[in-house]
Amino acid sequence: MNSAMTFRSALAAFLLSAVSATGAFAQDRIAVLTHAPVAAAEVPADAIVVNIDKMKYDVPELTVQAGDTVYWVNKEVMPHNVAFKKGIVGDGDFRGEMLKKDQAYAITFNEAGDFEYFCTPHPFMRGKVIVE
Amino acid sequence: MAALPRESTPGYLRLLGAGLTCSVLALGAAQAQTGTEPAEDADAAAAAAADGQTHGQRAAAEAAAALAAGEADEPVILKAPAPDTRRVYVQDPAHFAAVTQQYVIDGASGRVLGMTDGGFLPHPLAAEDGSFFAQVSSVWSRIARGDREDYVEVFDSETLRPIADIAIPDDAQRFLVGTYQWMNALTPDNKTLLYYQFSPAPAVGVVDLEEQKFDRLLDVPDCYHIFPASPTVFYMNCRDGSLARVDFAGGETEVTNTEVFHTEEELLINHPAFSLRSGRLVWPTYTGKIFQMDLTEEGVNFRPPFEALTEAERADDWRPGGWQQTAYHRPSDRIYLLVDQRDEWRHKTASRFVVVMNAATGERIDMLELGHEIDSINVSQDAEPLLYGLSSGSRTLHIYDAASGQELRSVDQLGRGPQILMTHDMGA
C-alpha cells in the first residue's frame, strides 16, 4: 500500500513538473513576476510605463531592450488588460489579469522581436512592444 | 370521469386537436395552428371558418371521419411545402440557453411547417432564392462545458434535412453574441457564408459552401456586421463612423474605408435592415434618424438621412425600441420601424407601433398600432406584403397586413424567447 502511494505520489509529482515545464516553455519569451495586478504606487520611479486611458494604450508602439520590464498602468475605471494571440510569446496565447483603475501589470521581455498585444474585452485596443 | 361542463365540447375538440398536433409534430410534420388556413385548402378553410373551427378542430374531425370510414393510419415523414416569399423563420435564442430552436412558418396560413435544432446562439441565414437555409452554430462536448465545436449547417428547404455540416477550426471561432441579423451573411451567389469573429481580433470567416469547407479568416479593421455586395466584396460598419469595403477576391484581402457618415453621438442600432438583392442598407439611430446607403461591388452611395419621427413626437419621448426594429420592403421601397414612447435608455424594450416610410422621400406613409408588445419585425417581399411582429415575451408571432396594419393571424408557443425573423426575397 505504501509503495503504491509512493508510486502515485511520484507519478503525480512527475506530471506536475511536466505541466510546469510546458507552461514555462510556452511563455519563454516573457516573464511575469506576479500574475496578480499590483498598485500603481508600487511601480518603480524609473520604470518603463505604458499608461492606459480613454480606451487606448498611450504608447502604442514601444521599443525596449531584451531583459527590460514594461509596466502597464490603467488610469481609468474601465478594466483593461494585456493579451497576446497564440504564438506571440509562446506556443499558446497569453492573457494578463484585468486591471482596475490605478492597478499595474509588469511583463519582462527576454527575447528580441515584435510583440503585438491587445485588450481582451476591447480587441480594438492594440499595441506593440519592439524588443531589440 | 366527472361530467363534462356545458361549454366543454369545444375544449374537448381542442384537446383532441392538440393530441393530433403532437403526433404530427413527432413525425416531423406541420403543426396545426389557429388562424387562416393554407391557400391550397381554401375551400376547407372557408368551411372551417364558417363553423368557427380552428385548424386543430378540423384536423380532429377529419381524423375521426377517417377512423369511422375504416381508413388505416399510415404514419410518414412529411415534407414542408416549397418555400415561398411568405415563409418566415423564427429563431429562438432562448435567453442564452445552450440549445435552441428555429420554427419554419407559413406566414400565409400561420402554420408551423417544421423546426430545426441549434446550439448556443446560432446565427440563421436564408438563401434569397429559397434554395436552402443555414445556420452557424456552437456546441460543447458536455452540453455547456467541455470541448467547443463551431460549425456551419445547411438545410434542405423542404425535407429540413442537413445537407452540409462544415467544421470551423478552433482558431477561427465565431462571435458569441445576442443574435444580430447581419452579423453573418451569405454572398448574393449563395456560394459563400461569411461570419464574424470578435476576439482576439476583428476578423471575418469565409466558408465555401460549394466545396463544403472552411476557407480562411480575413483580418479586418475595428468594424462590425457583414453586408455582401458581390461574391467577393462586403461592407462593415466601423468604430470610427465609416463603412469598410472588404474585397477578398483571389486569396487577397483589400480593405478601404468610406467617409465618416455619422457622429459619435448618433448611435446606430444593432439591427439595421439590408436587402441583399438591391444592396440597400437602412440604418436607424436610437432617436430614429434613418441613414441609407446603396452598396455595390464598386462602392457606396450615401443617401440623405431623414427622421422617422417628427420633432413633436421626439419631444414627446417617441423613440425606436426592441430587438429587430427595422424592416425594408424592397419592391415598394418602404421602411418599417418599431417605435413607442420610452425613456432614452430603454431601447431594447418592446414597442407597440410601427412607422411606415417612403424610403426615397422620407415621407411617412402610416403609423400602425400593433396591439401587442412587439420586439422584432420583418416583412415578406411579395407585392402585398405581410408584416411580421414577434413578441419575445409572449413567444407569439403576430401576422399583419402590412398595408392596413390589421392583424390577420398569430402563431404561439414559439420557444422561450424568440427574437429573429428571417424571410426569403424570392422576387427578381
Is A5 annotated in a binding site? The answer is no
pLDDT of residue A23: 38
Q: What is the pLDDT of residue B8?
A: 35
Mark B241-267 as b/e (b = at least 16 C-beta within 10 Å): bbbbbbbbeeeebebeebeebbeeeee
Cell numbers for B184, please give them: 453573418
Residue ranges of B 86-105 with Cβ closer than 8 A to chain A:
none
Residue with cell 393554407: B38
Confidence of residue B51 (pLDDT cuts 50, 70, 90): low
Nearest to B122 by CA among B134, B137, B101, B107: B137
| DSSP type of residue B285 | B
Which residue is associated with the grid cell 531592450? A65
- Compare B384 and A25 and report the one with higher pLDDT: B384
The identity of residue B183, as a single letter, is M
pLDDT at B3 over 60: no
Number of H helices, E strands in chain B: 4, 29
* pLDDT of residue B10 exceeding 70: no
In this predicted structure, the answer to whether residue B167 has a pLDDT above a threshold of 90 is yes
Dihedral sign of CA atoms B93, B97, B100, B105 in order = negative
Which residue in chain A is spatially nearest to B201 when comparing CA positions? A123
Q: How far apart are the first and last CA of chain B?
A: 60
The cell for A28 is: 519563454
Element (H, E) at B19: helix B8-26
> Mean pLDDT in chain A?
84
Asked if the Cβ–Cβ distance from A120 to B200 is below 8 Å, we say yes
Q: Retrieve residue B121's grid coordinates.
A: 446562439
Reported as a single tens digit per residue, the pLDDT across B279-336 is 999 999 999 999 999 999 999 999 999 999 999 999 999 999 999 999 999 999 999 9
DSSP string of A85-114, one letter each residue: -TTSSSSS-EEPPPB-TTEEEEEEE-S-EE
Question: ∠B271-B249-B184 over CA atoms, to 5°?
Answer: 20
Chain B environment of A120 (Cβ under 8 Å): 199-200
Closest Cβ–Cβ partner in A86, A123, A126 for B199: A123
pLDDT computed for residue A8 by the predictor: 44
B14's grid cell = 381542442
Of residues B26 and B358, the one with the higher pLDDT is B358
Residue type, B320: P
CB B99 within 8 A of CB B142: no
Pick the CATH number of A31-131 from 3.10.105.10, 3.40.350.10, 2.60.40.420, 3.40.50.40: 2.60.40.420
Residues 169-208 of B with CB under 8 A from A: 171, 198-202
Grid cell 483603475 is found at A101
Tell if the CB–CB gap between B200 and A123 is shorter than 8 Å.
Answer: yes
Q: Which residue has the cell 403609423?
A: B367
- How far is it, in rounded angstroms, from Cα A102 to Cα A84? 22
pLDDT level of residue A33 (50, 70, 90 thresholds): confident
Q: What are phi and psi of B80, to 5 degrees?
A: -75, 150
Q: Does A123 touch chain B (CB under 8 A)?
A: yes
What are the angstrom distances between the C-alpha of A65 and each of A26, A62, B25, B389?
21, 10, 68, 62
Task: Return the C-alpha torsion angle B128, B338, B420, B244, nearest 10.
Answer: 60
Mean pLDDT of B4-28: 37
Say if CB B375 and CB B391 are below 8 A apart. Answer: yes
Radius of gyration of chain A from Cα atoms?
18
pLDDT band per the 50, 70, 90 thresholds, residue A123? very high
- How many residues are given for chain A? 132
Could A86 and B171 be called an inter-chain contact, meaning their C-beta atoms sit closer than 8 Å? Answer: yes
List of chain A residues whose C-beta atoms are within 8 Å of the C-beta of residue B222: 123-124
**pLDDT tens digit sequence for B119-156:** 999 999 999 999 999 999 999 999 999 999 999 999 99
Q: What residues does B376 pair with on adjacent strands?
A: B390
CA pair distance B181, B127, nearest whole angstrom: 14
Higher-confidence position of A6 and B106: B106
Contact B394, B373 (CB under 8 A): yes
Angle (nearest 5°) at CA A12 between A11 and A17: 100
pTM comes to 0.85
A94: closest chain B residue by CA: B200
pLDDT at residue B116 is higher than 90: yes
User: Would you call B115 helix, strand, or coil by DSSP?
Assistant: strand
Kindly determine whether residue B222 and residue A118, on different chains, have CB atoms separated by under 8 Å. no
Task: Look up B274 and say whether it is catalytic.
Answer: no
Are residues B202 and A120, on separate chains, in Cβ contact within 8 Å?
A: no
CB A74 within 8 A of CB A50: no
Confidence class for position B30, pLDDT limits 50, 70, 90: very low
> Is pLDDT at A35 greater than 90 in this prediction?
no
CA distance B372 to B388: 12
At residue B127's C-alpha, the angle toward residues B221 and B28, to 5°, is 125
Report, as an integer, the average pLDDT of A67-95: 95
The verdict on A95 touching B (C-beta cutoff 8 Å) is no
Give B43 or B330, the one with higher predicted confidence.
B330
As a whole number, mean pLDDT of residues B2-10 equals 36
Burial of B25 (0-12, 13-18, 19+ CB in 10 A): middle
pLDDT value of position A24: 39
pLDDT digits (tens, 9 = 90+) for B193-230: 999 999 999 999 999 999 999 999 999 999 999 999 99
- Kindly list the strands in the beta sheet with B213-219, ordered across the sheet, starting from the edge strand earlier in the chain: B185-186, B192-197, B203-208, B213-219
Best residue in A88, A91, A124 for a mutation probing chain B (most B CBs within 10 Å): A124
pLDDT over 70 percentage in chain B: 88
- Taking CB atoms and an 8 Å limit, are A118 and B200 in contact across chains? yes
What's the rounded Cα separation, in Å, for the pair B219 and B202?
Answer: 7
Q: Report which of residues B341 and B14 the model is more confident about.
A: B341
Helix (H), strand (E) at residue B274: strand B273-274
Statement: residue B238 has pLDDT above 50? yes
| Cis check: omega of the bond before B202, within 30 degrees of 0 | no
ipTM over 0.85: no
Minimum-distance CB partner of A118 among B171, B201, B239: B201
CA distance B70 to B42: 26
Which chain A positions have a beta carbon within 8 Å of B237's beta carbon? none
Q: Please, what are the domains in chain B? A: 89-423 (2.130.10.10)
Cell 415575451 maps to which residue?
A: B393
Q: Is A122 a known ligand-binding residue?
A: yes
Q: Which of the four pLDDT bands, split at 50, 70 and 90, describes residue B54? A: confident
Contact by Cβ (8 Å): B401, B408: yes
Answer with the residue of higher pLDDT: B135 or B6: B135
Own/partner pairs, B20-25, CB within 8 angstroms, 24+ separation: B20/B56, B20/B59, B20/B60, B20/B63, B21/B56, B21/B59, B24/B59, B24/B78
Beta bridge pairs of residue B219: B203
